[in-house]
Structure formats: structure tokens, C-alpha cells
Structure 1
Amino acid sequence: MPIRNWALPVLALGALTVTACNEMFEAENGNGITSAMLIGADSDTANWITHGRTYSEQRFSPLDQINAENVGELGLAWFADMDTARGQEATPLVMDGKLYLTTAWSKVKAFDAATGAPLWDYDPEVPGETAVKACCDTVNRGLAAYGDSLFLGTLDGRLVALDRDTGTVKWETVTVDQTQSYTVTGAPRVIDGKVIIGNGGAEFGVRGYIAAYDVNDGSELWRFYTVPDGNEGGESPQYLQDAAETWNTEVLAGNDAIGGGGTVWDSMAYDPDLNLLYIGVGNGSPWNRAYRSPGEDGTGEGDNLYLSSIVAIRPDTGEYVWHYQTTPGETWDFTATQHIMLADMEIEGKERQVLMQAPKNGFFYVIDRATGEFISGDPYVAVNWATGIDDNGRPIENPETRIDKTGQPAMVTPGALGGHNWHPMAYHPGENLVYIPAFEAAMIYAPEADWKPDRARGFNVGFNLGAGDLPPDLGIRRQVGDTLRGMLVAWDPVAQEPRWTVEHPGPWNGGLLATGGNLVFQGTAGSEFNAYAANSGEKLWSFSAQTGVVAPPITYTVAGEQYVAVLAGWGGAYALSVDGALIADKAPVRNVSRLMVFKLGAEGELPAEMALASLPLDPPPSRANAETIALGSEKYARYCAVCHAPAAVGSTVLPDLRRAGSLGNAGAWESVVHGGLLKDNGMASFADSLSKEEIEAIREYVIFRANQDKGMEGSGQVARR
């Protein structure tokens, strides 16, 4: 059913009816997407017009042409290769038989949704050196649509309005201070003619906020800061004055490299009946609370609002309404930016309007979305930082893991990647199940001695995460890797327990889609795209994707025929920053970035999978003294490991530095790391953070590590490239 012929019944929307809104915005936007359409998106099964399909973000489609009985007949209808070999995380949009998606580096492409014929593409030409501001790959998660426009947030912080038919730029506006390490990777939302977008960068010392922009010209309408800046007075909004009481504001005001964090880098949901926008707020900057908000004894102090919180605000004005903090005094990178979804369900005999989230901290939360009242919360993965949640909704913490208080290292579960990361969940209302792409990956946190903030380039966390100090014995490191688990969990939000679980070989599996055909679709890190029975978890169908699939699927119809689409391409935080030796058998060989679209009876095939060429591990001799190697290890851990992986065991996405051609040439190495020779490829100069002596020490450390690993290739203990 084409969007332009779709009609919506009259529904109440505050003082305005949906009909009145429809008339008002259709007059302005012609036959494009209207507020009424976005509010009523659940009734439009043909299209996918907003990020989570509906404002409730349930990622459930009633379509059942493809179902548990016939999904075995699903085949590849068409595919399209991308021109960016980095992580692919986007949710496509589908309108009037056309499919629109974003790729890595914030590019946009449009296709005929039935045939795959390319229609147009757009490249915002993000400067390559922007990549070093992104903690977690050069990804982008999608678009928003309104009127005849598409809205894109670019990695370097611009908001761009594109003509939906041609891809030409209507307007663009810069939404961040580009001199700081802000990035934008999340998908915008449009509410009542306002484009709403947050940003990332808490790892690098920024102050988080979310803002609304006019769909017509990009002018900023309001901005909501998530943490105080230390200078709150009577002129500040009351919610920020209240937040300031939970921080050491002298530190915030006295050090411009400690921005507090709290970036709103992904999740949003909207309830039009309550007229509430729900946002998820991220981690502190730095992570270690003892450095950003110390008490009189120098240890961490205060809840540090609104870090790791779900916050409800008015989308028309940005006015604060309520908040719920999942991790008070956040110190482990336990963001609450993970997928937020809304649903109505019966709990203890009473119909409740709820908000649900499975944030990084490992607890699944059910909250009253009108008031922010805590209803229930239980672990959905193994948790050791807390033993439960009390009646007031506060975690019952394990003091041994509160390293900002003890000053001692601790193994914490979940670790900084969480029990669930950005990958979207899905909800099946018929089963009353939330499907969680969960995993277990503990982390050792150790307070960093003599830590100093570095907003310019350093991974500004305040912990030595062990990145440069992992055991050189690769067999031991692989044993650590064997503890990593991935799973698809079908979670009952009323009983707060799993109904069924599918085990995956490792973490970092794809986002989810649930359908009326009793199906749940998910891609995996093991290069599969699978369909499971929504009621039982039985695996019903599988397709070899030739690469890890981390993005969530969608479904739509064209001319009455149902399609399922998913963007494939291994990447993101885990793929970049986890020791490659730990995941050699739990990750794909390489990134292959492509869109795949399926329908019943199709018989298309992907090109033959190409073998990944592996450069030899043939480093120059290691002749540096222990002091130089120790310095290199320290600096590598802070400045290099987030992209090139711990212990210099590279990922399959970015270069493995042990095999770099410049490793044996100090001048060539310096020209890259200090001179910025490869900045257009994403490798910016680190001259503002590292001296030439430190850059050379990093080279010597990588040579040392490469020699440790030399001769072990073929033994199964060296990561494949």
C-alpha cells in the first residue's frame, strides 16, 4: 500500500487531533511523510518509515506472508555491495517501493526496494581524520524521514536534509563543536516537525546533550544538556541545578578536558499520547568517577546525574519531566543508551504503560513510562557488580567492584561492552517476549596511576584496561577468549526471566526483527543470517552472509510481496578493540559490506567468497630496552588499542600493526603517526598528544609483540587476517 494513499483514523494528540496535524503538515509537505503517518506507522505494514518501525521502537511487523511454515523457501532476491569496508549498523527505511539506507562514513544510498536498481547516492565527504574521534568505528545507524526529506547525522557532527527523490542537499547545519571530539552515529527521529539528534564522544571528554532542529531550515529549537558544567546558577534549568548537587562541580568547572560525558548517542522512543520523548544517557567522562567527581577523600562521590539514565522530556520544548538512573555513580561505562521500547501489558492484574530497557549493566528494567516509577528489574546475563535492585530501584552494589572507591583492580561482569550494546532488541506482542541480542564479556578495570585527561586524542577513561598488558602467551589469551559468550535471549518482561535462549559461538551478534509470521530474524558474528521460531527459538532457516551481521533486519512489501532486508558488514567496538587472538574462531575472516534482500522463492546467489590474503608476520628484530617497551605498551594501550586492538593483535577491519609495512622503518612510522600521512584514510596525526619519542616507543612495542607472536602462525594461536 503506497504511503501517499494511506489514511489514518482520528486519534487524540494532546490539544490537536491527528487529523488536524495531518492537514497542517500535508499543507506544508505535500504528499510526503506527515506526523499522522509517523504516529500511525504500526498500521502501515507495507513500509518502514521510522527507525524502529514505530515510535514505540518495538521492531515488530504484523506481516505474515513469510512465516514459520514456509520460511525455508526464503531466498536471495537481490543484493548491493557497499563502497565502505567498515562496520555496517544501519536500519534501512522503505517508502513507496524505495529503500534508503546509510553506510559507514555517513554515506546514503537509495534503491528500488523490489529489484535493487540503484536510484541515487550521497557522500557527505566526512574528513578521514574524524575517525579518531569515534570510539567505535565510523558507523552510522540510519535516517529519519519527514515530508519529502530524509535526515542524516554525519560522523563529524552535521545534520543534513536530503531530497528523498534525488539525494540533493536541502540544508545542513553543524550540531556540535567540531574542535572537540564529538561524533554522530545514531539515527535522528522526527517529532511534530522537529528533527531530534544526540551525539557521542564521552570517551574523549565532551559534555553530552540532545537537541531539536526545524525540519525546514535546520535552525536549532532547543538543547537539553544531560550533565551540569559546574557553573549552574539561578539562571540554569532546575533539572541541571538538581544534577549539580550530585557532582563535584569544582572539577567540572575547573578542568575543560573533563566534560562529564553523558552523551545521547543512540536510543530514543516517543509516546504521542503522553507527549513524552525518552532518551538514553551514556557514560561518564572519564569513566572513573574518582577523577571526574572525587569526594573529600579523593574517591568517587555522588550519583552524577543524569549519567546512565533514562530521561523523559517534552519534545516540543526540551523540558525535563522525569528520570530513572540505572547505574548511580557510573564508573564502568555502563551506558543507558541501549534500545528503549514502549509497550502496554498486564502486570500483577493491572494494565501498565511501560518502558523497557536492557542496558549495559546487565539488568532488564520495566519502568512506568508516565511517571518513571520502577516496576521491576532482574539480570538478563551474569552480573557481579550488584546483587540485585532494591524496592526504590537502586542497585545493591558489590563494594569490591566499586574500583573508584577501593582504588584496586577488579574483574567486573558485565564489562565495558555490556551485557547488551547498541544492537536493537525486538518485541513480539503476541508472545509478550522481548528478544535481546545479549552477551557476556567481563573486563578487568584498574585505576590508572598519575592519570591526566587528554581531550585531544587519548581514550579518556581513567583506567588502565589491561590493553597493553595482556599475557604474551597466546594460549592463555585464547583461554580468556573462551569465556566470551553470545546469545539470543527471549525475555519475559512480566516474569523477568528467559523463556528460551539460543547460544551463539561468541559475542556481537546482530539486531533483531520479530514478525507476525511467528519469526525472529537475526544475523550473527559467525556470518549467518537466521530465522527462529518466535515462540520456541527453533532455528528454521539460515543463509551464509560471508561476513558478520551486526545490523538489524527490516521487512516490507512491494506490490503485495513481502521482503526481508538486512545490511551486513563486520565492525563496531567489539570488532575493532578486542584482541584478535581471542576471537579467531568467533569472528568472520573479513568485512564484506553489502545489503541483502530476501523473498519467498527467490534463487539469487552471492558472489563466491574470496579468501582473505594474509600478510606474513615478519617483523624486524626487537632490540629496544625494557623501559622503552614499557613506555610503548602504556601509550599503545591508551591511544592505539581502541582501534587496533589490545596487545597489537589487530582486528579484521583495520590494519594489524604487527604486519604494517612501516614497522621496520622509523621514519615511515613517524610520518603516519606524527605527520598524518594517512589522515584521509582515518589515521590522523597524534602530534598533539604524543611526542616523537613516545611514537617511536609504540613502534618498538609493536615490534616486540610481533616477535613474541612470530613463529606461532599455523598453531591456531595467532589471529587470522
Structure 2
Amino acid sequence: MKLWHWTLCVLLGAGTISAQSLTPEQIRDVTGTINTDAIIQNAETTQNWLNYGLDYAETRHSKLTGITAENVGDMGLAWSHNLQSRRGVEATPIVVDGVMYVTGSWSIVHALDAVTGEELWVYDPEVPGEYAYKGCCDVVNRGVALYEGVVFVGAYDGFLHAIDAATGERVWKVDTIENREMSYTITGAPRVIDGRVIIGNGGAEFGVRGYVSAYDATSGEMDWRWYVVPGDPAEGYEDPSMEAAAATWDPSAEYWKAGGGGTIWDAMAYDPDLGLLYVGTGNGSPWNRHLRSPGGGNNLYLASIVALDPATGEYKWHYQNTPGDTWDYTSTQHIILADLEIDGAARKVLMQAPKNGFFYVIDRTNGEFISAEPFVEVTWATGYDENGRPIEAEGARSKTDPWETIPSAYGAHNWHPMSFNPQTGLVYIPAQGVPLVQSTDPAWELNSHKPMSTMSGVGWNLGYLFNVVAPEATAFGHLLAWDPVAQKEVWRAEYVSPWNGGTLTTAGNLVFQGTADGRFIAYDAATGEVLWQTPVGSGVVAAPATWEKDGTQYVTIAVGWGGVYGMMQRATDRVGPGRVYTFKVGGDAAMPEAVNSERLSLVEGVPYDPNHVGDGLAIYVSNCLFCHGVPGVNNGGGVPNLGYSDAAMLMNAKDVVLGGSLVEGGMPSFADKLTEADVEKLIAFVQGTADAVRPK
């Protein structure tokens, strides 16, 4: 256990606690009272940030007014803290009475003095480096939960950890993965409701069965588990919801062998008055429905919003955003609860802007469809009928021809949290577009490594090939202010790139967002006018938090470029390291010096056989593409683009690819999948592509 806690720091003279810093006794006093009632009560003042989305409704709307549109221009840095991270940072910090808990990459938890930025302790769950390839989208973590003096974090390798909030010592650890032969991960933040820690898993790209689980916060024992999709009919169904779901799948392809997918890897919200927990479910496994369920069907409960009883896990109702999903249109994106007046009547609603490009307003009492309208360009459907079912465009499910669907699998809105301001009545969405062409993979077989079969060498099960022809669409990213009642855009802020950070909105008439090109910006919430901005150490993907201590309002953003798009591409030469930045009006701390990328020149001079380039391409697509990108097309994101490697790196590729010399950084060994001859062909493809790109 790589564990630094308060007593160890004192004994070793590590210097992470000063005489003025918080003591374990003080931390215990302020964190021990945080429970469900405290989270509900905090929503009245939002003085602290006690839940991933601030409140159980996940509004990310702060009622604090210490920072306003009038004085935000005077905001400056209060402090920054180095997370010692080189991969993606996606966490929103939890803050209570001057104590902050935030995660970096590899699920490492940092406890900080929220006023000074001093480190109190660090907890490393020791995720093995070789586990990195078992997730689709970087070794990221979106944050922790805090409950009765215990911090809970779901580690990337699927273990749920309970940590003493005062000392950083482990209280318990439990394995959430029911089948270790499958590639499950955890990247989302837990929620705690009435003493139950609720967490889902990721992994639908690889061939798993999705579920969400609840664990006793004191003991770590599992209270309940609800599955998203049905299992093997021969083994029976766990509950009536699974029996009902099975009728919407074609058993001829034995879908349960590929898991079915539907992982619940992010979105959750809770209505204490209704006693309902809302979860968003993921894509199918494999993605391609023609292979997963060839006879068609809605394939419940993929790409859906599902209401559960948080005490028992019992299914209550669902609404399926994308029936029979075949595009990776997950509904795991942020869910917000609000009370709106619609057509003259007060409605208890939930709102979601998932990957498929439509903004949904759903009655959260019973799942009744209210409205859905596109918030970006959409080509897969022309709209929704009165029953809440999409009207699919002709050819949207092409079986053979390469086709470009908008939005692509990257989504019109991915995991980056949106926010809702009841004063303006607007939802602030990190909208985007990443072009992608897909076509059926004729060679796909479950868990079979085949050259040119996308990422099959590391266990992906997609059933698709990508960009066999060049996309025609143009990439974009913008902040979108959306009226959920009128279902229309009010204003937008354009960015240079997709994959911009989550949003925060406040009663000070502000919206905060970090950007892919390395800025942190404050906007007028009503008009979209830029009121303040500052450069930060890399592109930003996480969402900010705001909180108050001793009458001063602070705004905190965790910075570190990464995620599935950020692994391959970036929009700034500033590359980290991952940091936490905290700002206040009148802050005058010096900004840390930026670290710039050194990947500026295409690799050259590595000898290769030109006849091996074609075979190298096929090996690259099935093993390397979604981490390293296309060699030389851009100079990489959080993971190096091999076209910009040092020549020595390519010449020593056998040590890396077969010998596992970089496994601690997340690069797995392919010794059981590739041969030395295969590595020679990979080198030929990388160097040959760099040589072809260089004149352009």
C-alpha cells in the first residue's frame, strides 16, 4: 500500500503538514457529520461541495454570491497543487469546511487544506500499470464520495476503497467485479445514499454485462446489485425487469456471451422526496446491433435512463433514449433534476443531453416523455414522435457501406458535466463534434484478435471498422446555453477543439468552464459575455467546484488533459502536469510555470522494409490505434503519438512492446499477442507513415 497519512508525514518529516494545517481531529470533526441529511441541507446554502454534482439533483448550481459578474474580473490564483500526474484528470473535488478531497489519474486520492492547498495525505490504491489496457478511455477517475468521516473511491481496477477521511488509512476494500476474466473498470464517482455506497462499472467496449451495485458504507458488504441487460436465459433471470428485457433481444446470436454491455459508468442522480435513484446506462456489446441482436429489438436497458429504489435496487421505470443502440450512443451522460413549468403546469423533470445529440426532458416521477430536440446537428434521426421514440433516418443502420453518422461515437456531449441555473432557466452544455466514419467489421468474432479488427488485440469487441474513408464533417467544440422549456439554443461560445471541460453555474450570474486549449473562463450566465479568463497548465476536461470558507468564496478546477479523445489529440502545447487550481477575488499567488510538449518533430532515420508497411497497418489498427492515434497526423495527446517518437524509442520497440519496459506507465506487454516479426512491421508502418506525412 502506497499510503501517506498524517502520522507518517510527521514521523518522516515529509513537510506536508505545517503547524498551521488542519489536524486529524479537526478533519474528523468536520467530516464525521456528513450524511444524507447533511447533503440535502447543504443544497439550501451550497456553502460546501458535498456530492459529485454538488447536490443530489446534480445541478452544479451554487447559490453563493461572493463572486459575481461585477467582481469576477478581480479573481486571481489563491493556490495550486501538483497532482504528480501525466494522464487525464477528470475529478470534481469534494469540499467540506476547508477540507478538500480530489483524485488524479490512476484513482489516487489527495486530501488538501482547501484554503492553503497544503497536502494532508495521499492515498494510492496501487492500480497495476498493466491494468491500463482494460479500459477504453484513459486511467481517469471523476472523484470521491464523503460520508460520516469516510472517503470512498472506485479505483480503475474495479476495487471500491473506503478511506479514513482524517488520516488516509484504509478502512476497507471490496472487489466490485463479478468476473475477473472480463475487462471491467471504474472511472466514475460513487454516491452515498442512506449509508449505501452506489457505484457502477465501465467496460462495454470489451464485452461485459453492465450493472450497478450498492455497498454498506460501514462494512463494505454488498446490499444489492441491479443488472442492465439480461444474462443467459438458461440460468434464469434475477428479477422481473430482466425477464422483460430479454423479450427485446434476439437470442439467436447468444448475446449474453458478449456480455450485452449497458455499463453504468457515470451518471446518477437522486430525488429524496420521491425515493428514486436515476442511473444512465451505456452502449451495447458489441456496438454493432446487427452482430449483437441480428433480429433487431430495443435491447433493453441499453442507452436508457432507469429509476431504481436506492434502498433495494428494485427497478421502477425506464425511458430508452436510443432503442436498439448501434452507434455507441450511451446515456451515461449527466442527469439533472429540476422543477419546471411546462405548458402552464409544474412538472418534476429530469434533463439529459446524451451522446445521441438530443436534449431530453422527462417526467422523473414516472418516466413519461415530455420533449426531445437536437442541440447539435443530428443525422441518425429526424426527431421523436409523441410516444418518445426516435424517428430514424433512412440508412442510419447501414450494414455494409461506410457511413458517417452525426454525432459520432464520441458524442455530441460526452461525460463532461453540464449545469443548470434556475435563475436564467438555462442548461450549460459542453457540446462537441468529432467526425468518424464506421462500417461493419466482416472479420469480427468475439474475443478474437485479428489484424485490422479494431483494437481486438487488447480485447475490444466493437464489430465496426472506422474511417476506412475520410470523414466529411468538421470537428467542433462549444459551450451551449440551452433553454430546456423552449428547447432551443440561447447563446454559445465557440472553441478551437472538441473535448472541453464540464461546467459550473452560480447565483452570481456566472458560468465557469475550462477548455481544451488550456484556459479557465468565466461567462455572464445570461448573455455569454466573457468576463474573465486565465491560462492553466494543460487542456481541461474536468468540471469546476465552488465553495465558501470564513466568508470567502473560492472556485477550484482540477486540470489534466486526457480521456478517450485527449489520449490521441490535443489543442495546446501545454502538457501539465496535472494540477488543482483554486481562485478567489483578490488572489495573488503566482501561476506555476507551464510545461510545453517536446514532441515537435516527426521521427526519422529508423530503417524498415517498405513491404511491411501494409501488414504493419493491420497490426496497428488491432492493437494501437485508439491509444496512440494515427502516426504523424497530429503530435499526440496524453499518450504519445508514435510518429513523433524519438528514433531510439522505435528502435527499442521490442523492449517496450514485448518486454513490458513501460508497463508501470500503462503500456502493456504484448508478448502473448505479437511476435518480433510483428513489431518489425509496426515499426515499418510508423516510420513509413511519418515519412509519407513529412512532405505535407
Asked if TM exceeds 0.5, the reply is: yes
Q: 2 CA distance for matches of 1:560 and 1:392?
A: 50
Root-mean-square deviation (Å): 2.1
Structure 1: unaligned runs, 5 residues or longer: 1-27, 296-300, 472-476, 713-721
Alignment match of 1:542 (pick from 519, 533, 540):
533
Where do 1:319-358 residues align within 5 Å? Answer: 319-358=314-353
Deviations 1:99-122 (A, max 9, x none): 110110100111111111211111
Moved more, 609-618 or 426-435: 609-618
Deviation at 1:465, TM superposition (A): 0.8
Where do 1:383-402 residues align within 5 Å? Answer: 383-402=378-397
What's the counterpart of residue 675 of structure 1?
Answer: 659
Deviation at 1:711, TM superposition (A): 4.9
Deviations 1:397-456 (A, max 9, x none): 1121212xx322101100011000000000001111111010122320111121122277
Deviations 1:677-711 (A, max 9, x none): 32111111223444554443322211211211235
CA contact (8 A) 1:186 1:265 kept: yes
Structure 2: unaligned runs, 5 residues or longer: 1-28, 449-456
CA separation of 1:498/1:238 partners in 2, compared to 1, >3 Å: closer, same or farther? same
Alignment match of 1:575 (pick from 566, 576, 579):
566
Moved more, 456-465 or 153-162: 456-465
Alignment match of 2:604 (pick from 580, 595, 619):
619
Where do 1:545-624 residues align within 5 Å? Answer: 545-577=536-568, 580=569, 586-614=571-599, 616-620=601-605, 623-624=608-609
Q: 2 CA distance for matches of 1:132 and 1:357?
A: 30
Where do 1:160-559 residues align within 5 Å? Answer: 160-176=161-177, 177-231=179-233, 235-252=237-254, 256=257, 258-295=258-295, 301-403=296-398, 406-454=399-447, 457-466=458-467, 483-559=474-550
Q: 2 CA distance for matches of 1:409 and 1:690?
A: 29
Deviations 1:49-74 (A, max 9, x none): 11111000000011011000111110
Deviation at 1:616, TM superposition (A): 3.9
Alignment match of 1:697 (pick from 655, 676, 681):
681
CA separation of 1:622/1:38 partners in 2, compared to 1, >3 Å: closer, same or farther? same
CA contact (8 A) 2:606 2:650 kept: no
Q: 1 CA distance for matches of 2:238 and 2:99?
A: 45
Q: Secondary structure at 1:503's aligned position in 2?
A: strand
What's the counterpart of residue 148 of structure 2?
Answer: 147
Deviation at 1:602, TM superposition (A): 1.1
Deviations 1:502-557 (A, max 9, x none): 11111111101110000000011111100001111111001111311111111111
Q: Secondary structure at 1:629's aligned position in 2?
A: helix
Q: 1 CA distance for matches of 2:650 and 2:110?
A: 40
What's the counterpart of residue 73 of structure 1?
Answer: 74
Q: Secondary structure at 2:461's aligned position in 1?
A: coil
CA separation of 1:336/1:663 partners in 2, compared to 1, >3 Å: closer, same or farther? farther
Deviations 1:361-402 (A, max 9, x none): 000000000110000000000100100011111111112121
Deviation at 1:234, TM superposition (A): 5.4
CA separation of 1:29/1:518 partners in 2, compared to 1, >3 Å: closer, same or farther? closer
Deviation at 1:622, TM superposition (A): 6.2
Q: Secondary structure at 2:254's aligned position in 1?
A: helix
Q: 2 CA distance for matches of 1:235 and 1:438?
A: 39
What's the counterpart of residue 3 of structure 1?
Answer: none
Q: Secondary structure at 1:40's aligned position in 2?
A: helix
CA separation of 1:169/1:92 partners in 2, compared to 1, >3 Å: closer, same or farther? same
Deviation at 1:289, TM superposition (A): 0.9
Deviation at 1:670, TM superposition (A): 2.7
CA contact (8 A) 1:162 1:171 kept: yes
CA contact (8 A) 1:120 1:166 kept: yes
Deviation at 1:30, TM superposition (A): 9.4
CA contact (8 A) 2:417 2:503 kept: yes
Q: 1 CA distance for matches of 2:229 and 2:381?
A: 24
- Count of aligned pairs between the two proteins: 658
Deviation at 1:609, TM superposition (A): 2.4
Q: Secondary structure at 2:362's aligned position in 1?
A: strand
Deviation at 1:250, TM superposition (A): 4.0
Deviation at 1:574, TM superposition (A): 1.0
Deviations 1:601-647 (A, max 9, x none): 11112133244323642334665355x42232123123211110134
What's the counterpart of residue 89 of structure 2?
Answer: 88
Q: Secondary structure at 1:291's aligned position in 2?
A: helix
Identity %: 48
Q: Secondary structure at 1:680's aligned position in 2?
A: helix
Q: 2 CA distance for matches of 1:29 and 1:504?
A: 40
Deviations 1:265-314 (A, max 9, x none): 0000001111110000011111111111112xxxxx11111110101111
Alignment match of 2:615 (pick from 621, 624, 631):
631
Q: 2 CA distance for matches of 1:658 and 1:637?
A: 15
Q: Secondary structure at 1:530's aligned position in 2?
A: strand
CA separation of 1:64/1:29 partners in 2, compared to 1, >3 Å: closer, same or farther? closer
What's the counterpart of residue 135 of structure 2?
Answer: 134
Deviation at 1:665, TM superposition (A): 6.1
Q: 2 CA distance for matches of 1:271 and 1:618?
A: 55
Q: 2 CA distance for matches of 1:358 and 1:191?
A: 25
Q: 2 CA distance for matches of 1:532 and 1:367?
A: 28
1:103 maps to 2:88: no
Deviations 1:550-569 (A, max 9, x none): 11111111111110000011
Q: Secondary structure at 2:567's aligned position in 1?
A: helix
Moved more, 634-643 or 195-204: 634-643
Q: 2 CA distance for matches of 1:357 and 1:495?
A: 15
Deviation at 1:672, TM superposition (A): 2.1
CA separation of 1:674/1:229 partners in 2, compared to 1, >3 Å: closer, same or farther? farther
1:654 maps to 2:639: yes
Q: Secondary structure at 1:180's aligned position in 2?
A: coil
CA contact (8 A) 2:631 2:644 kept: no
Q: TM-score, normalised by structure 2?
A: 0.91
